[in-house]
Chain A
Amino acid sequence: MLEISKLVKRYGNDEPVLQDLDLVVEGSSVVSIVGASGAGKSTMLRCINRLVEPTSGSIRLNGNELVKLRGAALRRARRKIGMVFQGFNLIDRLTVMENVLAGRLGYVSLYQAISRRYPREDIERAFTLMERVGIAHYANKRADELSGGERQRVGVVRALMQEPEILLADEPTASLDPRTSEQIMMLLQSLASELSLPVLINIHNVAQAKAYTERIVGLRHGKMIFDGAPSDFNKDALDAIYGGIEAPEEELAAEPDKAEPRVPHDET
């Protein structure tokens, strides 16, 4: 169970990216987080595994407070949080198998990592998972030789190798073509139920969010403004999240006095 409460993230002295965010994810549900660029989706996800340091607030995974952890304790906590990235973030020059085994780096010793002598169970698990997503025959291929969809499968398997208690996916389909991205969403959905794993997915594509997830959370300017089932996510919710996002319109509306057109180069 993931419990986020009063999470604030502020870069420097700017407006906070996340403002008093509360979110509870129970059981093995698939939750999608939608919102315009800059709404704080990615920041929220990265606060959970502390790739981004939260300014204040609390994040608890299965009762374990994550915000205060440091050093080895933080690394042990990260092992239990799998992450899938928009740009896949595979080690291009290493083989698919090495990339997959890299998911075990939090568990093995440095010597095992360098010499690639991973425990037999790890290798067995790697093959099983790769077979499950259909990339086992690529084990010895270099990661950069694969297509986008295949690369994201490697990313998913790497995250699952961690034996995670939760899976975070930061726009996992944004770099993929529509068909492949449907496949990846389907894969995430079915893996979540097979492994009874809660999954948080940042996503731009509202149609996919509605089709493949059980719960939609809408963020805008770092605040949660929608939380409900896909069937409740209607036009109003969409407008509230994405509507009027163009900054110039807002400025015109807010300051009508300054709205008269000026030719910029007259000022010189």
Chain B
Amino acid sequence: MTRPDVSGTTPGPRTWRKPSFIANPVLRYGLWLVVLVYLIWAFGSLPFNWERIAEGLPRAARIFGSGFPPSFERGGLLLTGFKESFQIAILATLLGVALSIPFAVMAARNIAPLPIYLFGRAVIIVSRSFHPVIVAILFVAAVGFGPLAGVLTLTLYSIGFVGKLLAEEIEEIDWGQVEAMKATGAGYFSILVYAVFPQILPRQVGLSMYQLDSNLRASAVVGIVGAGGIGGTLMNAFGRYDYDFAFAILLIIIAVILVSEGISGWVRKKIW
């Protein structure tokens, strides 16, 4: 490698260019080529049926057309559906958040012995590896149609999400407080209660609020595969070509999500 001439013999203005993100030019242009080849191959080989798409567009327009104006006539049905969704979401959040604490403790490397750590991580990884819809299909098959399947699904979903983030929070606590409690001769669980939980409490409350929000959203989705709540009502409306009612449901879902997101954001900002 030659060294730049620093003696100042070259006159004229000096120039500078931002160094490339990928320094090796072969790799840099090679990657672009790979992306290009992939796109050509993907569009060429995936079965896009353009005729079918062209046919479908007016149909989509018809569905949207008959959805307007949305009909709120069957308000009772709407209300029951949402009530069930709320029940599912809140119950699942409470259960999931409560259960996520022991699993988070197990899955935190700094406070759990290796075998327990591996078990805790395994539970969290398994409960995170499937989308709630897939889990809901399994639970509907196991415990039948209805809200119980929804509650179980979202509980598992909450354990995975809250447990993982909480475990990471535990791994980043100020260890000095743990040392201080150890030095008093405190036992393992006293140390947890005094030195660990107070440090993760704000995060825990924040995550619970976020999870309630997220479960509300997910409860509408898992309802579609038969796990109770507003999702089931929505699916039935589509099945009976009641597009105006379906659109009313969608509008309410959007409104509910907006409101809950606003509330949870406000609460998370308040507590620290």
Q: A residues bordering B, Cβ < 8 Å? A: 49, 51, 75-83, 85, 87, 89-94, 98, 102-107, 110, 113-114, 155, 158-159, 162, 265, 268
Contact = CB atoms under 8 A, between A and B. Distances in A.
Given A85-B179, A90-B177, A90-B180, A113 B194 contact: yes
Interface string B184-202: 1111011101110011010
A89 B177 contact: yes
A222 to B, nearest CB: 21
Given A102-B181, A158-B180, A265-B3, 5 more contacts: A85-B176, A85-B180, A105-B187, A110-B189, A155-B180
Given A92-B198, A93-B198, A113-B194, A87 B176 contact: yes
B184 A93 contact: no
A72 B106 CA distance: 22
B180 A106 contact: no
A107 B190 CA distance: 11
Given A93-B201, A113-B193, A75 B179 contact: no
A238 B195 CA distance: 39
Contacts of A91: 177, 180, 194-195, 198-199
21 contacts: A49-B183, A75-B185, A78-B182, A78-B184, A82-B183, A85-B176, A89-B177, A89-B179, A91-B198, A94-B194, A102-B180, A102-B186, A105-B184, A107-B185, A110-B187, A113-B193, A114-B193, A155-B180, A158-B180, A158-B184, A265-B3
B199 A106 contact: no
Contacts of B180: 83, 85, 89-91, 102, 155, 158
B183 A83 contact: yes
Contacts of B40: none
Nearest to B195: A91
A258 B222 CA distance: 72
A23 B199 CA distance: 38
Contacts of A110: 187, 189-190, 193
Contacts of A106: 184-187
Give me the 9 closest cross-chain CB pairs, A-B, nearest first.
Answer: A106-B185, A105-B186, A79-B185, A89-B180, A78-B185, A89-B176, A83-B183, A93-B198, A75-B185
Given A89-B177, A268-B1, A76 B189 contact: no
A162 B181 CA distance: 11
Nearest to B176: A89
B46 to A, nearest CB: 49
Contacts of A79: 184-185
Interface string B245-258: 00000000000000
Contacts of B179: 51, 85, 89
Interface in B154-194: 174, 176-177, 179-187, 189-191, 193-194
A98 B195 CA distance: 11
Contacts of B176: 85, 87, 89
Interface residues of B, number: 23
Contacts of A155: 180
- Most B CB contacts (10 A, CB to CB) among A77, A79, A89, A155 go to A89
Contacts of B3: 265
A158 B198 CA distance: 18
Contacts of B183: 49, 51, 78, 81-83, 159
Contacts of A83: 180, 183
Contacts of B187: 75, 105-106, 110
Nearest to A268: B1
Nearest to B191: A105
Contacts of A90: 177, 180
A82 B199 CA distance: 23
B198 A105 contact: no
Nearest to B1: A268
Contacts of B201: 93
Given A91-B177, A94-B198, A76 B184 contact: no
Contacts of A158: 180, 184
B177 A105 contact: no
A89 B177 CA distance: 5
Contacts of B195: 91
A83 B191 CA distance: 16
- Most B CB contacts (10 A, CB to CB) among A79, A98, A106 go to A106
- Most A CB contacts (10 A, CB to CB) among B1, B174, B177, B183 go to B183
B270 to A, nearest CB: 16
B169 to A, nearest CB: 14
Contacts of B186: 75, 102, 105-106, 113
B184 A162 contact: yes
A265 B191 CA distance: 51
A265 B179 CA distance: 44
A166 B183 CA distance: 12
A78 B190 CA distance: 14
B185 A162 contact: yes
